[in-house]
């Protein structure tokens, strides 16, 4: 019985110790806390390339997903500012982490990755075969963080010089917030571990995992390391991400115009809605609830703007006009009789109205290709998705049938979408950079 009581007492003291440590880490209201995050996975990471401060590599889809997931894992951390290095992979990571926070990201040159010198753009394996030392043997190529006289065999920036400039960046940021307290996001690179080694001298030198978090406390001119290479925030974000419903984007297409009724080809050529087209808009207006939406977009064409404005005429939401939503430009085919184009011998007109092969359309005379049209619509819809992925409301987008067909050919080629002559409401779902059609409804104005 005494042994059981002793174990219970020991567990109690351990729990009190953990709670006390946590309280010490978060209860100091007179300090700044730097959340240092390594950027998300890049294509150069996958290829094990030696790209440091002298170059950039794009984030992979996983890198962007992890950054947004980390943002969810850090959602209870109130940041007073966001910083990144001047390299694109760091800035893009910071943007994804801060999704929905309406916070500018300030770039700092001295947060940039350590330079690989002559080895920039190479591969880890090349270094191993040439010098007999893997690129992961950091001290062989970069020296020790205390050794300011180290000269690298491949002329890298040495670890000492990097640590000096990285700390100068942190002090610069601290000085910008000298009259403030709170949490600061700073996105950098794996080489941050070289600087942080001074605070963990009893531990072996280690790199940082992509989107891992390390925390430095800054008070009275001194830094204290509170956390190192923590991936628990990312794991928490994964769990939250899984529970989120997809973002719903309501795509509205209204081809019911005067030109279409007259069998005239209508790309970026424009005409008013027909009486049936106006009636169809009124039908849709009775079907939707404007309060379900938090954003509305329309192409620059009048037939789209009328549709958007009429649907939301009693809503305070502004209609965001964007040219990337415009219909495909058809060059000399614009405003041509459809009966004339149907005789076109190259088969391009058939592609244009196939619904399944629009992506391969090539305009015979000065127009836009299906691939280019699909790309510009995808770029906008993807931006809308990334910016609003964690929002619980809906987005409405008023665009046009041919460009939307090309877009679906690109992002969901297995889906057979055939545009109709009626107004169509397509519920498009977006999650984790993927689009899928949920359902389609038609309104004919009758």
Q: Which residue do the tokens 């946590």 mark? A: 22
Q: What angle do CA 250, 251, 253 make, to 5 degrees?
A: 140
Looking at residue 358, what is its pLDDT?
93
Q: Which residue do the tokens 């995992």 mark? A: 209
Strand partners, 107: 84
Looking at residue 416, what is its pLDDT?
84
Looking at residue 322, what is its pLDDT?
98
Chain segment 320-341, per-residue pLDDT in tens: 999 999 999 999 999 999 999 9
Looking at residue 12, what is its pLDDT?
41
179 CB-near residues (< 8 Å, 6+ apart): none
For residue 369, give the DSSP letter. -
How do 247-253 and 423-431 pair as beta strands? antiparallel
| The pair of three-digit structure tokens given for residue 333, joined into one six-digit string | 């085919």
Positive or negative, the CA dihedral 354, 360, 362, 367 is positive
Chain segment 134-150, per-residue pLDDT in tens: 888 999 999 999 999 99
From residue 72, alpha-carbon distances to 38, 188, 231, 249, 353 in Å are: 16, 19, 13, 21, 42
pTM confidence score: 0.76
Chunked into runs of 10 residues, the chain (446 residues) has average pLDDT values of 44 39 52 97 90 89 94 96 97 94 95 92 88 89 93 93 97 96 97 96 92 97 97 96 93 96 96 96 96 97 98 96 97 94 87 88 90 96 89 95 96 89 96 93 92
For residue 273, give the DSSP letter. B
Query: For residue 284, which phi and psi values (nearest 5 degrees)?
Result: -65, -40
283 CB-near residues (< 8 Å, 6+ apart): 423, 443, 444, 445
Looking at residue 52, what is its pLDDT?
86
């Amino acid at each position: 019985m005494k042994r059981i009581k002793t174990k219970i007492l020991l567990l109690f003291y351990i729990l009190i110790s953990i709670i006390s440590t946590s309280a010490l880490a978060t209860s100091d209201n007179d300090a700044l806390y730097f959340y240092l995050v390594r950027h998300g996975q890049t294509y150069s990471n996958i290829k094990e390339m030696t790209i440091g401060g002298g170059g950039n590599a794009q984030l992979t889809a996983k890198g962007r997903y992890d950054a947004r997931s980390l943002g969810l894992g850090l959602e209870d951390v109130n940041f007073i500012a966001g910083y990144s290095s001047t390299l694109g992979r760091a800035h893009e990571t910071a943007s994804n982490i801060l999704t929905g926070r309406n916070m500018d990201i300030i770039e700092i040159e001295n947060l940039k990755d350590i330079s690989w010198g002559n080895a920039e753009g190479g591969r880890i394996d090349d270094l191993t075969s040439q010098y007999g030392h893997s690129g992961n043997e950091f001290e062989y190529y970069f020296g020790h963080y205390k050794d300011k006289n180290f000269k690298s065999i491949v002329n890298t920036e040495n670890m000492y010089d990097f640590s000096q400039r990285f700390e100068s960046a942190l002090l610069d940021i601290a000085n910008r917030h000298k009259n403030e307290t709170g949490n600061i996001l700073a996105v950098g690179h794996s080489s941050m571990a070289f600087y942080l080694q001074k605070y963990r001298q009893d531990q072996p030198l280690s790199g940082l995992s992509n989107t891992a978090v390390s925390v430095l406390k800054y008070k009275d001119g001194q830094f204290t390391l509170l956390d190192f290479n923590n991936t628990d925030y990312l794991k928490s974000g994964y769990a939250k991400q899984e529970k989120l419903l997809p973002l719903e984007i309501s795509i509205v297409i209204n081809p019911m115009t005067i030109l279409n009724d007259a069998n005239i080809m209508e790309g970026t050529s424009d005409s008013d809605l027909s009486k049936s087209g106006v009636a169809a808009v009124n039908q849709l207006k009775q079907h939707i609830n404007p309060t379900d939406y938090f954003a509305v977009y329309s192409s620059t064409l009048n037939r789209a703007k009328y549709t958007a404005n009429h649907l939301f005429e009693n809503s305070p939401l502004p209609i965001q006009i964007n040219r990337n939503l415009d219909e495909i430009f058809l060059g000399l085919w614009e405003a041509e009789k459809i009966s004339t184009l149907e005789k076109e011998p190259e088969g391009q007109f058939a592609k244009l109205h196939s619904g399944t092969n629009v992506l391969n359309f090539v305009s015979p005379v000065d127009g836009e290709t299906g691939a280019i049209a699909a790309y510009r619509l995808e770029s906008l819809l993807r931006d809308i998705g990334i910016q609003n992925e964690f929002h619980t409301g809906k987005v409405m987008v008023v665009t046009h049938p041919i460009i939307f067909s090309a877009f679906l050919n690109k992002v969901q080629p297995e889906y057979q979408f055939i545009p109709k002559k009626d107004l169509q409401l397509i519920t498009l779902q977006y999650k984790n950079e993927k689009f899928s059609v949920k359902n389609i409804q038609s309104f004919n104005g009758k």
